[in-house]
Each structure stands twice: as structure tokens, then as C-alpha cells.
């Protein structure tokens, strides 16, 4: 990203990568907000189709303004690589939410589905078919808001098409049957995908599974889908009916618009629909549009009809070859018993060709006058590498004659033996499985206070020593340790320090004591202090704490020290001070009143001093008593003048 002139945006970190683009978390320096920037991969910068398809996403979503659709802020190009700036949504994908919970409770599922439908409905009204509706493309915020994202393969009315017959390149688990057959995506194909998403929300799994995309696509076309009430009979029939109608294999039987589906969904849990009967769709022939040449699409790859036919009929062809070989062998035996000249052929025991290449074995057998069946039987083997011979029919050491037909059993590849990955680091396991492209690694995290971060605690789906075929797809789930995270309990304050330590250690935290010597406290504070109980916790109680390497929780408390406290008697001083407050000073001289006030102030200071000694109290008492006794009355002279003496 350094060579891109995206001056307005500060790239913060890379947050994702897809088949066409890298995604970065960025900061918009003009509007002062976070955003996500999706930019075409550098290796596709000269790919005209890729660039056109990338720009289509911007065109499809740029004018869609809806609270349930991620907003496009800006588009541009830098260093010949187009980019899209979009809303950064804090949350998790619906797929992650389903995996995390197992399934979504029906009321919440309806709440989320209504939002998703409203977002897709907005796109449909704008002439945009999403074509890749799946839980991975729906983001759920912490407040429960759902947002539809990734219009990367959307279809816009009036735009040129980038795939043969407008074939869908979306995920096969959510793909409508007509799209697997190569027909144009429509509102009904989006509705089908939405029905599958709703099914997965309520059950925790997709309705059709298979080892290959073709198998899943064929099941969507041919197999009846189980009802959600078979998984959970507490789900109302009205909800199951919505899924039945949305996922009808004949799109003419599906909802015509999202609004129709929304109308049913909004009232599905109302009392008047509690006794709805199960919807039974009548079997009607598919439209003439679906009777055209069938093309089945794997995940993001076009698979031609001939390939599908050959894969589907391979086992039959092999079986026919084996039967034909056996019949020929029987026929030859009959002929050899009836025609004496046939017995003139040279007989010998067949050698063991196990582990040798097809070409090498074929050459040797031909030199012996034997015929090799051109159709091989393939098996997975423990040790013999792919395309090497495992065995023959007839097998080694059996008697054969010149001209006999030999069937080769060839290795399809070696088994991979699953190891015990527990106690290994996640990165170590990733490296071990780097070449095993048929293993889909699923990682889930679990807090552990005993095990270091990033270590595999256990594995699921594939057990140690289990042998797996190189030609099938497997899910291996690893449960990996992560640091313990918890909220520091509020009740620690006032708890005995040893009990507090036990509580925190049970949660997996590292504890450090901060013991304060109580000998530094004054007598009065010392008397009021609770010893050996927690007075302060660092980090503060109520805050979130993650036990990483070097992190600690510090507990502060006072130790108890022995102390002899001599009680100071302030009762007499307090009584005298109260009496002094009641003295009428109106007829006292200013000087004596001033002396009294000073004595009272001094007495108050001594009374409020917790560290005052007895002598200070006694001195204050004496001073106050002397001041009270020293109060002097004001002398008022007689205003009548004395008479003048007579001359």
C-alpha cells in the first residue's frame, strides 16, 4: 500500500484478503472516521476482466443507501489498481455468529432475517441482484444490526455480463438450482439463497453437504430438503413454510419478490399463525428455460457437462470394464478347454508388480505376451504413491497364459495419517498441514489459565492416527488456547487478602501483594483501619483484564502492627468550650473578649487534633479557664455633671 497515492486515507492495518482484493482498515483524515479500503490485488492490475468485475462492485453498491447495506464512501484508482472505500462495520459475520452459538434462537433469527431481506429488497428495487448471498457476506453488529456486504459479483440490469450465460460464481452451498444449471441469476435465485441462509441460522448447518462442489450442486437440484422442524420441533410451522417456499427447486413456486417473503416473515410468530399447516408444493414441470443444456458450476469454477458426465459415470465404466474382463477370462477358459490348440499357449506365474509405475508394468506385461486392460481400477493406498501399481487381477503368483488380459489396480494416492496435534503450537500445525490442500483447518479459541497462548488444546472431526484420502475434503477443528480475560470483581475491595488471591488465581490471574506497614498511621486512623483486607486493586475493580505474559493484578492492604494507645481525655476541655460559647459578652471589655476568643480558637484546634497530647489538652483548658475568669465588665461613668461650687 506504500506506493498508492491515497493521500486522504491513513492505512492502519490489513484486515482481510480475498480472491481479488486486499482489505485494509484505514482512517479518513478529512471526515475523521474509520473506513475499510478494498483494493485490487497487484497481480490483477493488468487483468481487464478482473478490473471490470471489481468496478462492478462499486457500481452495484455505490447508490444503495440503506441501514442494512454497507455504505460505499468513495472509489478511485492508484498505481493502476482500483479501490473502493466503504463503511467499516464493527462486528462479526453471520457465519461466525452461527458457528459460535451453534444456531440462532428463532426470535433473533427472524429479527436478523427481516433486516437482511430489507437490505436485499433495496438492492432489487435498484435493479441489483446480489448473486452471492451467504452468511459470510452478512455482518452483525454488537447492537444486533445486520448489514449485507460484498456486491462483488452482483448483476446490474443493463450491464455487460462477465461469465458464460451470466453464470453465478457464488458459493455452491447457497446456490439456486437454476444457477447451477447455468441460467441467469434473478430475484428468485437471491430468494433461494436467503432461504438457505435462514435454514442455516435456525439449524446451525447447511442443508446439503458433499466432498465436492459438484455433489452439493446436484443435491440442490435433485434432493428434497429436510425441514427445520426435524431439527427443532419448537420452531413454528409458519417459519418452516417460509423456508419451503423460498427454497422451492422450481423458481416459479418461490416468492416473486422480497416484499412477499417479508410480509409472511413479519407475522410468522403472531398467534393467528400458531396452527398453520405444513406447506406442500405441488410438483410442476420446470420452465422451458431450465430444460436447456445443463451446466453445473463448482465453487467459482465452470465445470463443463462432459466433465460432469465422465466423473459421474467413471465408476460405472470401471465396473463395466471389470465385468467385461471377467467375462473374457471365463470365455478364454472355456475356449481353452474345448479347443486343444489353445493349450499350446505358454503358461506361467504372474510376477508381483506392486509399487512400479503404470508404464513400467505395462511394458513388462506386453513383453510376456499379456494384454493390459486400458481402464485402470483406482484405490487409495497407505504407502504406494499415486499412479503406481498396487496389484493386478489376476494377482501375483497366479497362473496366466499368453494373451490373457491383466487388470491393473493403481494407486490414487497415499493416505494421510492424522497426527495428535494437541500441545503443539497453532503455527507448527499450520506448517505441518501446509501441503495438505484437502484439509480445511477450522480454528476456535478457548481461554486457558494453564496453557500458553496459541497452543492446541484438542482437535475435533479428525482423530489422531485416522487415515484420510487425498481426494476428499475434510474439516479439522483445532481448539487453541488464548489468554484468560475477565472482569476484575468489585467484591475484592474489603475482602481478606488471602481470599482475594485465591479468587483471582482461580480465574487464572497472576497476583502481587502491596502490603503497607500500619505503624506509619496515627493512633486515631490506626484504630479505624481494617487490617489484612483489600483497600485498593490495580487495575481497578470492574475493568477488563487479560492475563498475558508479565501482566499482574496488585492487591493493596494494611498489615497489622501492635500498638499501645494512651487515651487523651478531652472531656473537660470540650465541656468548658461549650460553656464558653454560651457566655454573654455584650457587657465585657473588648480586650477581655479578644483574649477569650483566642483561647477558644486554641481549644478548638486541640480538640480537632487526633495526635494532641494530654499536656496540650490541659494547657488549652487552663488558658480557656483563665480567659473566662479574666473577663472584665465595662465601667460606665455617671453622665450627670457635678455642681459648680459657690463663690
| 565 has a pLDDT exceeding 50 | yes
Q: Do 150 and 98 meet the contact criterion of CB atoms below 8 Å apart?
A: no
With respect to residue 1, please indicate whether it lies within any of the assigned structural domains: no
User: Looking at 379, 414, 449, which one is the last position of a domain?
Assistant: 414
Please check whether residue 564 lies inside any domain of the structure.
no
Residue 439 DSSP class: E
Residues 296-308 have pLDDT tens digits of 333 333 323 333 3
Residue 636 lies in a domain: no
Query: Residue 25 is part of a domain; what is its CATH number?
Result: 3.30.200.20
Work out the number of other CB atoms within 10 angstroms of the CB of residue 491. 11
Helices (H), 275-367: 305-338, 358-367
Q: What does the alpha-carbon distance between residue 185 and residue 127 come to, in Å, rounded to a whole number?
A: 12
CATH classification at residue 521: 3.30.10.20
User: Where does a domain end: 363, 384, 414?
Assistant: 414
Judgement on whether residues 148 and 250 belong to the same structural domain of the protein: yes
Identify the domain containing residue 611 by its residue range: 571-629
What count of Cα atoms within 13 Å lies in the side-chain half-sphere of residue 179?
32
pLDDT recorded at residue 647: 53
Q: 321 and 264, same structural domain?
A: no
Task: Count Cβ atoms below 10 Å from residue 531 Cβ, excluding itself.
Answer: 14
Prior bond of 394 cis (ω within 30°): yes
**Residue 521 domain-assigned (yes or no):** yes
3-state SS, residue 486: strand
Asked whether residue 363 falls in the same domain as residue 444, the answer is: no
Residues 594-606, mean pLDDT to the nearest whole number: 92
Residue 515 placed within a domain: yes
Look at the chain and report how many structural domains it folds into: 6
Residue 152 reports pLDDT greater than 60? no
Which of 535, 559, 583 corresponds to the end of one domain? 559
Pairing between β-strand 456-460 and β-strand 474-482 as defined by DSSP bridges: antiparallel
Residues 268 and 131 in one domain: yes
Whether residues 69 and 172 fall in one domain = no
- On the question of pLDDT at 108 being above 60, the answer is yes
Q: What whole-number percentage of the chain has pLDDT above 90?
A: 39
d(CA 319, CA 315): 6
Judged by DSSP in three states, 535 sits in strand
Alpha-helical (H) ranges within 41-164 are 48-62, 94-101, 106-125
The CB density around residue 550, as the number of other CB atoms within 10 Å, is 6
215 shares its domain with 139? yes
Lowest mean pLDDT among 23-27, 43-47, 630-634: 43-47
pLDDT per residue as tens digits for the range 154-176: 554 434 343 433 333 447 899 99
Q: Report yes or no on 621 lying in a domain.
A: yes
pLDDT digits (tens, 9 = 90+) for 457-504: 999 989 898 888 777 788 999 999 988 889 999 999 999 999 999 999
The answer to whether residues 499 and 603 belong to one domain is no
Active site (catalytic) residues: 132
In this structure, the answer to whether residues 160 and 171 fall within a common structural domain is yes
Confidence at 63, pLDDT banded by 50, 70, 90 = confident
Q: How far is CA 306 from CA 291, 330, 412, in A?
A: 17, 34, 22
**101 pLDDT higher than 50:** yes
The pLDDT-based confidence of 319 (bands split at 50, 70, 90) is very low
When comparing pLDDT for 426 and 634, which is higher? Answer: 426
pLDDT at position 205 is 94
Region 525-546: what's the mean pLDDT? 90
pTM to 2 decimals?
A: 0.46
The mean pLDDT value of the chain amounts to 82
Same domain, 530 and 402: no
Q: What is the mean pLDDT of residues 68-96?
A: 87
Which of 13-27, 345-359, 617-631 has the weakest average pLDDT? 13-27
Same domain flag for 575 and 607: yes
> Do both 365 and 497 map to the same domain?
no
Q: For residue 211, tell me if it sits in a domain.
A: yes
pLDDT of 326 strictly over 60: no
Q: Per the domain annotation, does 565 fall within a domain?
A: no
User: Exposed/middle/buried for 361, CB within 10 Å: 0-12, 13-18, 19+?
Assistant: buried
pLDDT score at 299? 35
Whether residue 107 is found in the same domain as residue 232: yes
Q: Is the pLDDT of residue 527 over 70?
A: yes
Band the pLDDT of 121: cuts 50, 70, 90.
very high
Three-state secondary structure call for residue 297? strand
Amino acid at each position: 500500500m506504500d506506493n498508492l497515492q491515497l493521500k486522504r486515507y491513513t492505512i492502519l492495518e490489513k484486515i482481510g484478503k480475498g480472491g481479488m482484493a486486499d482489505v485494509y482498515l484505514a482512517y479518513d483524515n478529512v471526515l475523521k472516521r474509520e473506513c475499510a479500503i478494498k483494493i485490487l490485488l497487484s497481480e490483477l492490475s493488468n487483468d481487464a476482466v478482473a478490473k471490470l468485475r471489481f468496478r462492478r462492485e462499486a457500481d452495484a453498491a455505490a447508490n444503495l443507501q440503506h441501514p442494512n447495506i454497507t455504505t460505499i464512501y468513495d472509489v478511485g484508482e492508484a498505481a493502476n489498481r482500483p479501490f473502493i472505500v466503504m463503511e467499516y462495520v464493527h462486528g462479526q459475520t453471520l457465519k461466525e455468529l452461527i458457528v459460535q452459538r451453534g444456531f440462532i434462537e428463532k426470535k433473533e433469527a427472524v429479527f436478523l432475517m427481516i433486516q437482511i431481506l430489507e437490505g436485499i429488497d433495496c438492492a432489487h428495487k435498484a435493479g441489483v441482484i446480489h448473486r452471492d448471498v451467504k452468511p459470510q457476506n452478512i455482518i452483525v453488529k454488537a447492537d444486533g444490526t445486520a448489514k449485507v456486504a460484498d456486491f462483488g459479483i452482483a448483476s446490474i440490469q443493463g450491464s455487460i455480463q462477465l461469465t458464460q450465460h451470466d453464470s453465478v460464481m457464488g458459493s455452491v452451498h447457497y446456490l439456486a438450482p437454476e444457477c447451477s444449471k447455468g441460467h441467469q441469476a434473478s430475484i428468485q435465485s437471491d430468494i433461494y439463497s436467503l432461504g438457505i441462509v435462514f435454514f442455516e441460522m435456525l439449524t446451525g448447518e447447511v442443508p446439503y453437504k458433499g466432498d465436492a462442489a459438484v455433489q452439493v450442486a446436484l443435491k440442490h437440484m435433485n434432493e428434497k430438503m429436510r425441514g427445520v422442524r426435524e431439527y427443532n420441533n419448537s420452531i413454528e410451522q409458519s417459519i418452516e413454510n417460509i423456508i419451503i417456499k423460498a427454497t422451492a427447486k422450481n423458481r416459479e413456486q418461490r416468492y416473486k419478490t422480497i416484499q412477499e417473503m417479508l410480509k409472511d416473515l413479519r407475522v410468522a410468530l403472531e398467534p393467528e399463525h400458531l396452527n398453520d399447516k405444513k406447506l406442500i408444493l405441488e410438483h410442476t414441470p420446470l420452465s422451458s428455460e431450465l430444460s436447456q443444456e445443463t451446466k453445473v458450476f463448482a465453487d467459482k469454477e465452470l465445470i463443463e457437462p462432459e466433465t460432469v458426465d465422465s466423473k459421474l459415470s467413471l465408476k460405472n465404466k470401471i465396473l463395466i470394464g471389470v465385468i467385461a474382463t471377467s467375462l473374457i477370462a471365463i470365455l478364454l477358459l472355456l475356449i481353452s478347454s474345448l479347443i486343444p490348440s489353445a493349450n499350446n499357449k505358454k503358461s506361467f506365474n504372474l510376477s508381483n508388480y506392486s509399487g512400479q509405475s503404470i508404464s513400467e508394468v505395462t511394458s513388462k506385461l506386453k513383453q510376456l505376451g499379456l494384454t493390459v486392460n486400458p481402464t485402470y481400477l483406482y484405490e487409495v493406498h497407505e504407502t504406494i504413491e499415486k499412479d503406481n501399481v498396487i496389484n493386478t487381477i489376476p494377482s501375483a503368483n497366479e497362473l496366466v497364459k499368453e494373451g490373457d488380459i491383466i487388470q491393473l489396480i493403481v494407486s490414487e494416492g497415499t493416505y494421510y495419517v492424522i497426527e495428535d496435534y494437541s500441545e503443539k503450537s497453532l503455527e507448527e500445525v499450520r506448517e505441518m498441514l501446509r501441503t495438505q490442500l484437502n484439509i480445511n483447518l477450522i480454528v476456535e479459541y478457548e481461554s486457558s489459565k494453564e496453557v500458553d497462548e496459541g497452543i492446541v488444546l484438542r482437535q475435533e472431526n479428525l482423530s489422531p492416527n485416522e487415515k484420510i484420502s487425498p481426494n476428499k475434503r475434510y474439516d479439522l477443528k483445532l481448539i487453541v488456547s488464548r489468554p484468560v480475560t475477565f472482569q476484575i470483581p468489585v467484591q475484592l475491595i474489603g475482602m481478606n487478602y488471602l481470599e482475594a488471591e485465591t479468587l483471582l488465581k482461580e480465574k487464572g490471574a497472576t497476583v502481587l501483594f502491596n502490603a503497607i506497614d500500619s505503624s506509619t498511621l496515627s493512633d486515631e486512623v490506626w484504630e479505624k483501619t481494617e487490617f489484612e483486607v483489600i483497600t485498593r486493586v490495580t487495575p481497578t475493580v470492574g475493568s477488563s483484564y487479560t492475563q498475558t505474559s508479565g501482566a499482574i493484578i496488585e492487591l493493596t492492604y494494611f498489615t497489622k502492627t501492635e500498638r499501645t494507645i494512651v487515651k487523651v481525655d478531652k472531656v473537660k476541655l470540650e465541656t468548658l468550650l461549650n460553656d464558653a460559647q454560651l457566655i454573654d459578652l455584650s457587657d465585657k471589655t473588648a480586650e477581655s473578649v479578644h483574649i477569650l476568643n483566642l483561647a477558644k480558637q486554641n481549644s478548638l484546634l486541640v480538640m480537632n487534633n487526633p495526635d494532641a497530647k494530654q499536656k496540650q489538652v490541659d494547657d488549652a483548658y487552663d488558658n480557656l479557664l483563665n480567659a473566662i475568669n479574666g473577663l472584665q465588665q465595662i465601667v460606665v461613668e455617671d453622665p450627670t455633671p457635678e455642681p459648680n461650687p459657690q463663690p
